[in-house]
Amino acid sequence: MKRSCLLVAAIVTATLLAACGGSHFAPSTSTSAPLAAKAHSSSTAYELLYSFKGTPDGASPLAGLIALHGKLYGTTLNGSKNYCSQSCSNGCYLGCGTVFSVDASGKEDVIYNFKGNLNSAQDGSWPFAGLTELKGTLYGTTSSGGLGDGVVYTVTPSGKEKVLYSFTGGTDAQGSEATMIVAKGTLYGTSVYGGGSGCGGAGCGTVFSVSPAGKESVLYSFAGGSDGERLYSGVTYFHGKLYGATLEGGSGCGSAGCGTIFELSLSGKKRVLYRFGGTSDGAYPNGLTAVGGLLYGTTEGGGSRSSGTFFSITKSGKLQTLYSFQDIPDGNLPAANLLYLNGNFYSTTVGGGTAGDGTAYEISKTGSENVLYSFKGGNDGSDPQAPTTAFKGALYSTTYTGGGTGCSGNGCGTIFSVTP
């Protein structure tokens, strides 16, 4: 399940904002052969860069990485030296999360440990989202903490953190879980909840803006139903407007809806471009990547094998399914955004691969897919849920679990690279 609920069950109990979020699916256990899967290239080089150790180190990295000044920076959902929630009766716990750096040699440093409200702090806790750079400063969000509903924060490469804005829920945003973007000197992000009292009382989600000085504004509050709801992925800036996806809402897939693609002006005027049907067109879409005159993305479900799809969509809302993921030994549940590099897209799937523990893959604009690496679920990592980042000639990303025997035996997550 995207943003696996295993390590955040206590968060859901402790807060309304549900730190679980995302997919309606667990990776499939099917062993039937795919229709058109390709074995990974023998020339693909995989390297384990770092294995997280849990407390007092980080644990459970869900977001991608960002390169700055010759290092990679990222966040972990759990871990850190600060307690945030007891998760079991024998004293184990979920830390409040970290910001870390790592260099190309694998030297990792925790540059900031979130303290969280349980430690009488308002700096934030549980950062699902990754980091965004603006003029040498890193910006991010936490899903909880602050005044209770998460924060926007800055952190310097040396680890000095500052809360720019605390979300208040209600008509404001609540529970931001996606990496923000920068457009025209302003940060834009999304929230899973907030924006009103719809969708069960917590709100259906928002798109918000925040200035580098901390002035925040909700650009659009989703209404649920055909309008869309639950924004677990961020927006992209394309031809002067914002484009993104709601994981739910729209039509199909029972009462929840299969998700939507939307367009939003910077003044807050919104229209739905596409409502997924949950069959061959896919279901539960992720964020979008603009290339040429088209937007490209993935869905976590639907397609010919119910394992997700890769699609393109025009600004007028014409969608074309370009590839259906085939599960084992191909990928299943593509939950991360796409990176476009040298004519191909690159990303990860949570499940599928030869062992069912996820893949790193490449796919062309026409839908020709190739598995670069199949995770084995041991020291190499398992359940990658983050996009890839180009750095020093390779592609880098994280796995949510694996990498050792810590964190209840499943491993605390890894940083890895693949070279196509």
User: For 312-352, what is each residue's pLDDT tens digit?
Assistant: 999 999 999 999 999 999 999 999 999 999 999 999 999 99
Q: What is the CATH number of domain 9-419?
A: 2.120.10.30
Residue 284 has pLDDT above 70, yes or no: yes
Over residues 355-365, the mean pLDDT reads 98
Q: pLDDT: is 307 or 14 the higher one? A: 307
> Residue 117: its pLDDT value, please?
75
Share of the chain above pLDDT 70, in %: 88
The confidence score (pLDDT) of residue 267 equals: 97
* Vertex 410 angle, CA 406 and 413, to 5°: 75
Average pLDDT in the chain: 89
The predicted model gives 81-95 an average pLDDT of 71
**Structural contact between residues 312 and 296, judged by C-beta atoms closer than 8 angstroms:** yes
> What pLDDT, in 10s, does the model give residues 23-54?
433 333 333 333 333 434 445 799 999 999 99
Q: 182 falls in which pLDDT band (50, 70, 90)?
A: very high
Query: Would you state the pLDDT for residue 177?
Result: 98
Contact residues for 255 (Cβ-Cβ < 8 A; gap 6+): none
What average pLDDT does this structure show over 196-203?
96
pLDDT of residue 13: 29
Looking at residue 116, what is its pLDDT?
Answer: 87
For residue 42, the model assigns a pLDDT of 44
Q: State residue 88's pLDDT score.
A: 59
Instruction: Look up the pTM and report it.
Output: 0.91
Pick the range with the lowest mean pLDDT from 148-152, 375-379, 406-410: 406-410
What is the radius of gyration, based on Cα positions, of the chain? Answer: 19
What integer pLDDT is reported at residue 170 of this predicted model?
Answer: 97
Residue 2 has pLDDT above 70, yes or no: no
Examine the pLDDT at 252 and tell me if it is beyond 50: yes
pLDDT at 118: 72
The answer to whether 263 and 273 are in contact (CB under 8 A) is yes
SS3 for the chain is CCCCCCCCHHHHHHCCCCCCCCCCCCCCCCCCCCCCCCCCCCCCEEEEEEECCCCCCEECCCCCCEEECCEEEEEECEECCCEEEECCCCCCEEECCEEEEECCCCCEEEEEECCCHHHCCCCCECCCCCCEEECCEEEEEECECCCCCCEEEEECCCCCEEEEEECCCCCCEECCCCCCEEECCEEEEEECEECCCCHHHCCCCEEEEECCCCCEEEEEECCCHHHCECCCCCCEEECCEEEEEECECCCCCCCCCCCEEEEECCCCCEEEEEECCCCCCCEEEEEEEEECCEEEEEEEECCCCCCCEEEEECCCCCEEEEEECCCCCCEECCCCCCEEECCEEEEEECEECCCCCCEEEEEECCCCEEEEEECCCCCCCECCCCCCEEECCEEEEEECECCCCCCCCCCCCEEEEEEC
Q: Which of 11-25, 98-112, 386-400 has the weakest average pLDDT? A: 11-25
**pLDDT given for residue 92 in this prediction:** 61
> How much is the pLDDT for 86?
64
C-alpha to C-alpha distance for 78 and 7, rounded to whole angstroms = 8
Confidence of residue 5 (pLDDT cuts 50, 70, 90): very low
Segment 271-297 shows an average pLDDT of 97
Give the C-alpha separation, 394 to 385, whole Å: 18
Contact 251, 226 (CB under 8 A): yes
| The pLDDT of residue 143 | 96
Look at residue 6 and tell me whether its pLDDT is greater than 50. no
**Per-residue model confidence (pLDDT) at position 40:** 41
Write down the pLDDT at residue 87.
61
Asked whether the predicted pLDDT for residue 7 surpasses 90, the reply is no
Mean per-residue pLDDT, 390-415: 95
In this predicted structure, the answer to whether residue 131 has a pLDDT above a threshold of 60 is yes
